[in-house]
Structures are given as structure tokens and as C-alpha cells.
Amino acid sequence: MSQLTSSNKYGKTIFQRIFGGYGELLKLPGTARYAIGAVIASMPFPMIGMCITISVQRIYGSYTLAGTLSAVQAISLAILTPILGRLVDRFGQTRVSIPVIGIWIVSAITLITCIQLRVPQWILYIIVPFMAFIPPWGAMSRSRWTYLLKNQENSAEKIDRAMGFSSVLDEAMWMIGNPLSSILAVISGVLSFSFTGVCVIIGAIMFLSVRAAEPPSQTDLAKQAGITRKEFRVQEAARAAAVSGDEDKATKKASIFSIGFIAICATWFGLGAFQGASGISIIAFAKEQNVQSLTGFVFACFSCSALIGATLYGAKSWTIPLWQRFYFCIVVVAIGLSSFMFARNIWTVMIIYLIIGVCQSPTWINGNQIILHLVPPARFTEGVAIMSAMNAIGSSIGNSLAGYFIDQNGSYGGFVTVTVLAFIALILAFSGIKQIREATMKPILVHVDA
């Protein structure tokens, strides 16, 4: 009996050590609602690309067209996301999100109708860019955490944990969204798009209804200070430069494009390229194996593993330098995905995904933490949006390249493309190691009092 009691106490201690910090975050009023709402509203990210790919390939019979349309949507997302992020920081989350959601819903209805009617391809190319009108929910959620936690005791540790918790929820979204999108798209394109639209509406209501957690916009902060928004941005840049030790920057134009920020964006471009190529290659591989309905479950394995990695990684207070953790994780992911070219069946791909997925979320968590060292708080949404845009651009290029080589040489051609792009990504990542290492040595800019 005493042994059982001791075991229970030990189990509770482990559980408390892993999840206790997350529980403290959720005790803050409204945090659970907006954090979960952001995940639900973000369902277009794991679902739309696969819905377009499967629906278009089934109706039009071309991986090249399917991959190119996905690339167009990704490029449009890359262009629009930084713009939306900047607008959110300037005018507020609610003011920007509501009209953007309306545009997306109308575009989704139009696109699936045109696919089902098998309209000329040029019409699809006109409609698909409007599918990029998605509010940057993840960046906005992280901005809310930063706003709520920056003045609390041990704020840096709590913010790191909040970034980890956000990634846990993101991976849960991908783990659920990927199999759902493949199953629903195979059954009916209309059903898959309809489900995604319902998620957008429900998630947006949950997120935007928590007004107390919404950070003040640059417009609001400038009004409070009795200055113009432009003057506020210059003033904030000067304060950030003083904290980071870059005194010269205080006299320059208020820009977030430091050398360190450019380096992290280049790294994210390379990461998106080989991961985007792997996605469409796996879809083609599954079809060759006559197991296309399992495609979503393959991606769910990756997300499930990443969810475990995010949960454990975010719960621990790390002493290993941030830049070392970042590079270790990105190397594991790149080499792991390169091994797909040796897979002979879909189960091998699943196993590889389960192994390397543990490092997927930590890679993104580390990237978001690095951004905290590079970008002032009132421009955090914009900074994360630009980084995500670079990832989307890389993904679109990888997706398009892989689609071409799949049509020429089957899924093996796609996996070879993944391998080449993965090593290019590592070259890009390590070319900026000096800047990224130096950036992580500087103070976190959320402590700049705007």
C-alpha cells in the first residue's frame, strides 16, 4: 500500500512538473478561451493546402496544377501575412480581423464551387490568392501572452513557457487538421471547405471576445502619449536599441530588419522549402501505394510527435544556450526528412515522422523566442508574421518544385527534391549562425516599456 502511495505521489510530482506551469498560465482570466480560439480559427493552415491539393488533383488529374495552386496560395499568404501583421499592430486585432475573415469566407465558397464545376484553370488562379486572407492568429495569440505576462514576476520564464504552450496547441491543431482534411477532401471537397469555414467563425468569436487581453495598438499607445503613430514608432525603436546595446540603431530609421532578423528569416525560408516539398511528395507516395486516405494520418504522426516535443520542451527551464538548441533541432528535422527517399512503404514514412517530429515544435518555439530578442513588443505581430511569410515563400517554392518532379519521376523525384532542399536550408541556416548567436545574447525586448 505504501509503495502504491509513493508511486502516486511520484506520478503527481512528474505531472505537476510538466503541466503545472501551463496550468498557471490558464488561470489568468480569458487565456484559455483566446488560446483555444486561436487554434480553432487557424484550421485553414493545416487543412486548406491539402484540401486544394486533393480536390484539384481528383477533379483535374494534375499534380502540377494542384502543387502550383497550393504554391500560389502560399505565396499570397507570404505577401499578405506581414501586411496583416503590420495592420494588426497599428490598428488593433479586432478591427483588422473581422473584415479579413469576411473576405476569406466568400473566397472559400467561390473556390470550392469553381473546382466542383471544373471551370477553366485560369479562374482558379484568380480566386486562390484570396484564400490567403487569414488573420495571423498564432502571432496575435503570442502577442497577447507577451502583453499579459511582461510585467509579472519571472516574466521571461513565463513568456518562454507561454510560447511553448502556444506551440503545443498549434501541434494539436495540425494533428487534428491533417487527417480531417484528407478524409473530408476524399469524401467531398464541399464538406472539407465547409468544416474549415465553421472552425474559422467559431474560433474567431472565441478569440476576439476576450477584449481585455488584446494588446493596445500603436494608434492607441500614440494617442495616450499625445504623439503621432510615426513618432511613437521612432521612439520605440530608440528604446529597443538602448536595451539591446545597439546605440547606432537609435538614430536610424525605425525598422525591424536588423542583420539578426534577416538571418532568422532566411533560415525560415529554407525550413519552409524542404517541408513544403515533403508534404506534396508524401501525398503522391500515398497514392502510388493506394493508401491516399491515410495521408492525413501520416501528417498526424508528425504532429503527434511534435505535440509531445512541444509539451516537454516548453515545460523545462533550459540552461543550454538558445541558439545551440535552435540549430540542433533544425539539423535533426532536415536530416530526418531527407531519409524519406529511402522509404519503401507508407509505414516507414510514419515511423520517420514520429522520430523526427519531436524536434519540430522546439524549432518553432526557439524561432519565436529569438524574435523576442530582435523585435520591440508593439511590433511583435509584424515580426512573427514576416518570419512566417518567409517560411510560406519557401514552402511554395518547395511545393512547386516537388510537384514538377513528381509528375516527371513519381514520388521518388519529390523525395529527392526534399533532400536537396533540406541541405540548402542547412547552408542558409548556418550562414547566419553568428548573427543569431549574438542576437540571443542580448536582452529580451519585451522588457522595453513602450
- Domains (ranges, CATH) in the chain? 30-447 (1.20.1250.20)
Lowest mean pLDDT among 211-215, 248-252, 433-437: 248-252
The band of 102, judged by pLDDT with boundaries at 50, 70 and 90, is very high
The band of 447, judged by pLDDT with boundaries at 50, 70 and 90, is very low
For residue 236, the model assigns a pLDDT of 67
Average pLDDT, the chain: 78
Nearest Cα to 168, choosing from 148, 147, 145, 187?
145
Q: Which residues contact 392 (CB under 8 A, 6 or more apart)?
A: 74, 75, 77, 78, 81, 272
The band of 16, judged by pLDDT with boundaries at 50, 70 and 90, is low
For residue 243, the model assigns a pLDDT of 53
Distance CA 201, CA 381 (A): 21
* CB count in 10 Å sphere of residue 324: 13
Q: What share of the chain is helix, strand, coil (3-state, %, to 5)?
A: 85, 0, 15
> Residues 416, 405: contact at Cβ < 8 Å?
yes
* CB count in 10 Å sphere of residue 341: 16
pLDDT per position as a tens digit, 45-70? 767 777 787 778 778 877 778 878 87
DSSP string covering 131-149, please? GG----HHHHHHHHHHHHH
- 115-121 contacts: CB < 8 A, separation 24 or more? 115/55, 115/56, 115/59, 115/189, 116/59, 116/189, 116/190, 118/59, 118/60, 121/60, 121/65
For residue 251, the model assigns a pLDDT of 43
Distance CA 391, CA 445 (A): 23
Element holding 62 (H helix, E strand): none
> Which one has a higher pLDDT value, 158 or 419?
419
The band of 240, judged by pLDDT with boundaries at 50, 70 and 90, is low
